[in-house]
Structure 1
Amino acid sequence: MTGAATEPGADLRLAPPPWHPLRGLDSAISPHVAELEAHIIGWADRYALLDDARARDKLARTRLGELVARTYPTILPARLEAVSGWFTWAFVIDDCFDRCAGQYDETAARTLRVLAGDREPGAAETRLEAQLADVWHRLTAGMGLTWRTRFTQHMAHFLAAFKYEAFNRRTRRVPDLLGYRQLRRASGGITPSLDLIEVASGLEVPALLHEFEQTRAMFDRAADVVVWVNDIVSLRKELAAGETTNGVLVLAAEREIGLPEAVDAAYTLVAEQVKQFEDAEAELEALLSRWRGLEPEAVVAARKFTDGMRAWMRGNLDWSFRSDRYQVTDGVLLSTDTSLLAPKPSGPER
């Protein structure tokens, strides 16, 4: 008698070990979880972004509002709808590109034109572009040109990464570690997510402070922690889907080790990234205390931004083990509708 098929990676331990520094970061959550969840579903319904009732149920079980609540625990009530709208857009477009081969560069260009407010005359607008335009109008209220430029650049990186992930998937290629470190920070959508810390708090970090070497190091390390933890937690799902662009698989191939050892190696790498974040944070704090002429509100904004990056590292971990997006490998995507990525070509009526 043949036993039941075992799910790929079912025997892997994916939670961080007891010693891990991620466990030492404070865990917090906004009291507005229910409101955020309602906004998520509201955005998806308003613009008809989901495939069907199963996809709608999947979105609810993803607990996307909880992700926002855990990663922006002090989010202002006035910012709930705008921030939840961006996450709805990001998760839908991610699922669209998961199985839909598309005109990646064209979709990226169309999306960036939405952010630039530079629509071509007479250009058809997809439902996803219309939703993003609505979200963008809300996100940018009160935000300066420097922030809008930075966010747009990070969105460009996020959109460009889909093409390279699709190539790896199509050719069954596991990328090398050197290249993967660069691709993953972009493909995870974490850099624009970290930019939203300033939107959620209503405190914009002055341009010079944001480009301090220490702030940049913290930003990159926080981004790396989030995407590498995501790779670990989503490993079973990605093995089942035949995904090849995953940091655990990269480490396994690079070091010629098994998956359990690669998971351990990934968590060791994450621990190093947390340590580097904290070293840069200490340097930034010393710099802020010595910088002459620095306005008190700039110091507050920088510290709030630091707190936000810490919240993202821990909040992502807490959410990941509660979300059906990674814990249930049912193969259901939020959307596979290619018309969300580019307008369907018009033709003569029949």
Structure 2
Amino acid sequence: MSAPDAAFMIPSLPFEARCHPLWELAEDRVRTWLAKIYPHGTAADAERFEEGRAARVAGYFFPDADLEDLVTLTAMIEAIFMYDDRIAYDRSSSPEDAHALAYRLQLVLQTGQVEPSDDPDLIALGEILQRIYPRQSEDWRSRFRRHIWNFLFANAAELENRLEGHTPGLREYMAIRRETIGVLPALDLAEFAGHYELPDILYDDPDLHELRQCYLDIVAWMNDIYSYQREDAAGEVNLVHVLRAENKTSLAATFDDICEMIEARISHFIESERRFRDSDTHRRITETERAAVDASVAAMKYAMAGSRRWQAEVKRYTTAQR
């Protein structure tokens, strides 16, 4: 069984997939912006942009965003894609290169400003954050920085495993994968798009934490099915490799196992949401806080359903990385 065949076995998600009607306009504007930031971009860079369709992701993840915000969100997702591809698929990349990238971006992530520079990565991130940070609290900015930072270093850890020929156990893999999938920063960005913020005391609520863990696993494990052939060809290790190594199962049986795992996490997500809504915490919070929780849960549902739809539409995970 091939990965594309297995993708049809992924359980149906009981969540609505909606895409922003202006996503193509956002894509055109980000394409023009990227050409100015990276004037020496190659044909392969342009093809990678078309295959990834970052604006389509943004459209699914943030279907009600203002157009100007959608452009900003598309640019940020494209930046995350670029960091991911550079670390994971650039044959000359090393863990040291990945760490160097993180440290180069550190000051811009901290301040949202960039000193005069000829480094297009810094210029691009600075311009994006100058549109985001002024609207957000320091608590939000700190959380977002932490999530981007963890994403970069987790990708470096994955690269180190690949170069050393190490296949991690399931527990180790899941901890890293929840960071490398890159959708924790996307959930932060949903707060920017929706003009709300979850206070830390709610963000850290055990039931909401469990909701996020389910969300991360569902998106990551669907991605591991869709991207298996590409990652296998690149020498990457994903959940398919981890489970086959642990369980000594066939490829077809492993795809079955992952689909069952996804189905279990969907059920657990629904139960965790019900448990939170029945909790004392939910009864005690203000209307504003309740609206923020509702928006955050809706954002996870849009992202899960939209991620599945987007991955079935694009060539990013069916085309070998050049």
Whether these two folds match at TM > 0.5 is: yes
The 1:261–1:207 alpha-carbon spacing in structure 2 relative to 1, beyond 3 Å, is: same
Counterpart of 2:207 (choices 175, 197, 214) is: 214
> Corresponding residue for 2:287?
296
- CA deviation map 1:186-238 (0-9, x unaligned): 11212111111101111112222212111111112101111111111001111
Does the C-alpha gap of structure 1 residues 126 and 11 become closer, same or farther in structure 2, counting only changes over 3 Å?
A: closer
Which structure has the higher relative contact order (CA within 8 Å, separation 6+)? 1
User: Contact 1:40 / 1:64 at 8 angstroms: preserved in 2?
Assistant: no
* Aligned residue in 2 for 1:111: 105
Cα drift, residue 141 of structure 1: 2.9
Question: Cα distance, 1:300 vs. partner?
Answer: 1.1
The whole-number CA distance in structure 2 between the counterparts of 1:39 and 1:112 is 26
Question: Letter of the aligned partner of 1:304 in structure 2?
Answer: A
Give the AA of the match of 2:126: A
Q: What is the identity percentage for the equivalent residue pairs of Structure 1 and Structure 2? A: 23
Q: Which digits, 9 at most, give the CA deviation of each residue in 1:232-258, with x for residues without a partner?
A: 100111122222x20111111111101
Which of 278, 282, 302 lines up with 1:286 in the alignment?
A: 278
SS of structure 1 residue aligned to 2:316: helix
5+ residue gaps, structure 1, are 1-8, 333-350
Does the 8 Å CA contact 2:35/2:41 hold for their aligned counterparts?
no
The structure carrying a bigger helix percent of its residues is 2
Q: Are 1:77 and 2:67 matched, yes or no?
A: yes
Distance 1:205 1:172, change over 3 A: same
| Paired residues for 1:97-108 under 5 Å | 97=87, 98-99=89-90, 100-101=93-94, 102-108=96-102
Q: Which residue of 2 aligns with 1:181?
A: 174
Normalised by the length of structure 2, the TM-score is 0.91
The verdict on how the C-alpha distance between 1:117 and 1:263 changes in structure 2, with shifts beyond 3 A counting, is: same
Deviation at 1:50? 7.0
Give structure 1 regions of 4+ aligned residues with deviation exceeding 6 angstroms.
none
Separation in 1, partners of 2:8, 2:65: 27
**What residue number does 1:271 align with?**
263
Question: Which residue of structure 2 lines up, in the alignment, with residue 147 of structure 1?
Answer: 140
CA distance in 2, matches of 1:210, 1:38: 35
Matches within 5 A, 1:135-284: 135-243=128-236, 245-284=237-276
Corresponding residue for residue 6 of structure 1: none
User: Displacement of 1:262 after TM fit?
Assistant: 1.0
Length-normalised TM-score, structure 1: 0.84
Q: Retained in 1: the 8 A contact 2:112–2:126?
A: no
- What's 1:313 paired with? 304
Shift in alpha-carbon separation, 1:12–1:301, aligned structure 2, 3 A: closer
Task: Give the letter for the 1:249 counterpart.
Answer: H
Instruction: Please tell me whether the aligned partners of residues 51 and 314 of structure 2 are also in contact (alpha carbons under 8 angstroms).
Output: yes
